[in-house]
Structure 1
Amino acid sequence: MKKTLARGLMNLLPMALSLWLFWSLFVSLDGLGIFILALVGINQHFVGAGFLLVVAIVFAVGLLFSVSPIVWLYGWIERQLMRFPLFKSVYGSIRDIASLMNREGKPNTQQTVLVKQANGGYVVGFIMTDTPPQPLLDALPEGDWVPVLFQLSYQMAGVTSLVKRDDLILVDWSFEEAMRFNLTAGISQTPSSSVVKTKS
């Protein structure tokens, strides 16, 4: 009976939490949209009207940012606000995360790699970019250095280390599957995934 309950929980919990998360997001955005409708004097609406309004506003903003004057004006406002250190730290972090999520039209540079440790073991990492900041390259010894992210299990935090490209083993493994493996300490794995190691 214990195994049956555990099996039911393991199958039901992820689905329930995922549905709850998306429903909570829907309710929050719907509430925001209804608040906007109330501001303009529209008090009669159907369920989901606020959500559709928010989606329409986001879509309209996306269209506006395809116009050069709007992009220039937003960039100018952004540069002025970035003068404030606290705003710069918070906004910069959020913007970097958003840009990481939106990779449309950009080359996929998030290569999964293995890095050998002193004890002979290997750790899974990710090459996030092929162009490290110039100040770091100036401070490092001569060589082909790349920043490698080592994700910490059960949290979004990670450690970035600069590693010579010759010391890396490229892995034919998608960024999403390898990230899931790291985040869950190997508990979550795709059965059909095949990992092929190739020397760089």
Structure 2
Amino acid sequence: MKNMTNTLLKGVLNLLPMVVSLWIFWSLFASLDELGDFLLRLVGLPTLFTGEGFLLVLLLVFAAGLLFSVSPIVWLYDVIVQQLMRFPLFKTVYGSINDIASLMSQNEENKGQQTVLVKQSNGSYVVGFIMADNAPEPLLAALPEGDWVPVLFQLSYQIAGVTSLVKREDLTVVDWSFEEAMRYSLTAGITSTTEVAAQ
């Protein structure tokens, strides 16, 4: 009975990430395809095959990318955004989504993200991430003299984290990629331990 339970659990643990990932991508595809089909119906065009709406949305996004390389379009868009930013709720939601999108769109060499260890008072270390080379000027003006940098301490199993300002001299730089270290922190090290045990 115990072997059967372990085998069932192993099957679930191996299949679940794949099934959930495929379901998320399929849901995204279906939603975008439905949106594209809706746009086609608005202009009176029939749907000829499944995925036509998805291709239309991709084409529109590509066209938007081309338009945003034209200065007048960028200027007009910025004006519209600035007007909408007057509404507090829109400012909060748009600002958060825009920050995430900006983080994702940066190239690896421009991210400036570095994995570090921060020593605690009891001699233990906490994994952190330097997210920017410098802290904001208002914070630097309020802090004592020193080379302060913002360090993110990721909370396990959560998207949220805690940002602390730490002196650069108190950081131990780790030769570990941001993606791998973030994955380690998000899963509290369970993912890495499981992978090592499986080898």
Band of TM-score, shorter chain: over 0.9
Name the stretch that deviates more: 81-90 or 109-118.
Answer: 81-90
Structure 1 length normalisation: TM-score?
A: 0.92
Q: Which residue of 148, 155, 158 corresponds with 1:155?
A: 158
Name the structure 1 match of 2:54. 51
Taking the aligned partners of 1:67 and 1:27, their CA distance within structure 2 comes to 31
Matched residue SS, 2:172: strand
2:96 pairs with 1:63: no
Matched residue SS, 1:156: coil
Quote the RMSD (CA, aligned, Å): 1.7
Taking the aligned partners of 2:183 and 2:95, their CA distance within structure 1 comes to 25
Name the structure 2 match of 1:10. 13
Name the structure 2 match of 1:131. 134
Provide runs of 4+ in structure 1 moved above 4 Å.
190-193
Name the structure 2 match of 1:38. 41
Name the structure 2 match of 1:27. 30
Structure 2 length normalisation: TM-score?
A: 0.92
Name the structure 2 match of 1:117. 120
Taking the aligned partners of 1:89 and 1:187, their CA distance within structure 2 comes to 34
Residues 40-77 of structure 1 deviation map (CA, whole Å, 9 limit, x = unaligned): 11123210001000000000000000011111111111
Matched residue SS, 1:46: coil
Contact 2:37 2:47 in 1 (8 A): no
Residues 126-178 of structure 1 deviation map (CA, whole Å, 9 limit, x = unaligned): 10001211000000000000000111111100110000000001011111111
Name the structure 2 match of 1:187. 190
Name the stretch that deviates more: 75-84 or 184-193.
Answer: 184-193
The aligned length equals 193
Report the structure, 1 or 2, having the larger helix content: 2
Unaligned stretches of 5+ residues in structure 1: 194-200
Residues 10-43 of structure 1 deviation map (CA, whole Å, 9 limit, x = unaligned): 1111111111110011001101111111101112
- Give the letter aligned to residue 73 of structure 1: L
2:82 pairs with 1:79: yes
CA apart distance, 1:124: 0.8
Matched residue SS, 1:188: helix
Contact 2:152 2:164 in 1 (8 A): yes
Taking the aligned partners of 1:88 and 1:190, their CA distance within structure 2 comes to 41
Matched residue SS, 1:37: helix
